[in-house]
Amino acid sequence: MTEYRFVESLPDLIDPTDYAGHPDGGLVRLRVSATADGVRVSGDALRPAVLEGLLAELGGGPVQQMLCG
Protein backbone atom coordinates (compact mmCIF):
# COMPACT_ATOMS: atom_id res chain seq x y z
CA MET A 1 0.00 0.00 0.00
CA THR A 2 1.32 3.43 -0.94
CA GLU A 3 2.22 5.76 1.92
CA TYR A 4 1.27 9.40 1.35
CA ARG A 5 3.05 12.28 3.11
CA PHE A 6 1.57 15.74 2.88
CA VAL A 7 4.05 18.57 2.33
CA GLU A 8 3.81 22.37 2.07
CA SER A 9 5.23 22.66 -1.43
CA LEU A 10 6.42 20.71 -4.45
CA PRO A 11 7.84 21.94 -7.76
CA ASP A 12 5.27 22.91 -10.40
CA LEU A 13 5.92 21.04 -13.63
CA ILE A 14 2.72 22.35 -15.24
CA ASP A 15 1.79 26.02 -15.41
CA PRO A 16 -1.45 27.80 -16.33
CA THR A 17 -0.38 28.24 -19.96
CA ASP A 18 -0.52 24.44 -20.39
CA TYR A 19 -4.23 24.12 -19.57
CA ALA A 20 -5.65 25.43 -22.85
CA GLY A 21 -3.61 22.97 -24.89
CA HIS A 22 -4.97 19.97 -22.94
CA PRO A 23 -8.74 20.41 -22.56
CA ASP A 24 -9.16 16.67 -21.88
CA GLY A 25 -6.92 17.01 -18.80
CA GLY A 26 -4.54 14.26 -19.93
CA LEU A 27 -1.27 16.12 -19.41
CA VAL A 28 1.23 14.44 -17.07
CA ARG A 29 4.82 15.61 -16.62
CA LEU A 30 7.54 13.65 -14.85
CA ARG A 31 11.03 14.58 -13.72
CA VAL A 32 13.45 11.76 -12.86
CA SER A 33 16.51 12.67 -10.79
CA ALA A 34 19.40 10.72 -9.32
CA THR A 35 20.01 11.57 -5.66
CA ALA A 36 22.35 10.31 -2.96
CA ASP A 37 19.44 8.16 -1.72
CA GLY A 38 18.53 6.68 -5.11
CA VAL A 39 16.11 7.81 -7.80
CA ARG A 40 13.48 10.48 -7.24
CA VAL A 41 10.44 10.72 -9.49
CA SER A 42 8.58 14.04 -9.36
CA GLY A 43 5.34 14.52 -11.19
CA ASP A 44 2.55 16.93 -11.93
CA ALA A 45 -0.75 16.27 -13.69
CA LEU A 46 -3.92 18.07 -14.63
CA ARG A 47 -5.81 15.07 -13.23
CA PRO A 48 -4.08 14.00 -9.97
CA ALA A 49 -5.62 10.50 -9.98
CA VAL A 50 -3.66 9.66 -13.15
CA LEU A 51 -0.36 10.65 -11.53
CA GLU A 52 -1.22 8.90 -8.26
CA GLY A 53 -1.90 5.65 -10.13
CA LEU A 54 1.39 5.90 -12.02
CA LEU A 55 3.41 6.55 -8.86
CA ALA A 56 1.65 3.70 -7.04
CA GLU A 57 2.61 1.33 -9.88
CA LEU A 58 6.24 2.46 -9.67
CA GLY A 59 6.30 1.85 -5.91
CA GLY A 60 9.57 2.15 -4.06
CA GLY A 61 8.72 4.63 -1.36
CA PRO A 62 6.36 7.22 0.05
CA VAL A 63 4.57 9.70 -2.17
CA GLN A 64 4.78 13.36 -1.18
CA GLN A 65 1.59 15.21 -1.94
CA MET A 66 0.30 18.77 -1.56
CA LEU A 67 -3.18 19.77 -0.53
CA CYS A 68 -4.31 22.43 -2.99
CA GLY A 69 -7.33 24.57 -2.95
Structure letter (DSSP) for residue 13: S
pLDDT in the model for residue 17: 94
How many CB atoms neighbour CB 4 within 10 A?
Answer: 12
Position 56 scores a pLDDT of 85
How many domains does one find in the chain? 1
Is 3 within 8 Å of 62 (Cβ atoms)?
A: yes
Residue 43 to residue 54: CA distance in whole angstroms? 10
pLDDT recorded at residue 41 = 92
Segments in the chain below pLDDT 50: none
The range of the structural domain enclosing residue 54 comes to 4-65
Torsion over CA: 25, 23, 27, 20 (sign): negative
pLDDT tens per residue across span 4-17: 899 999 989 999 99
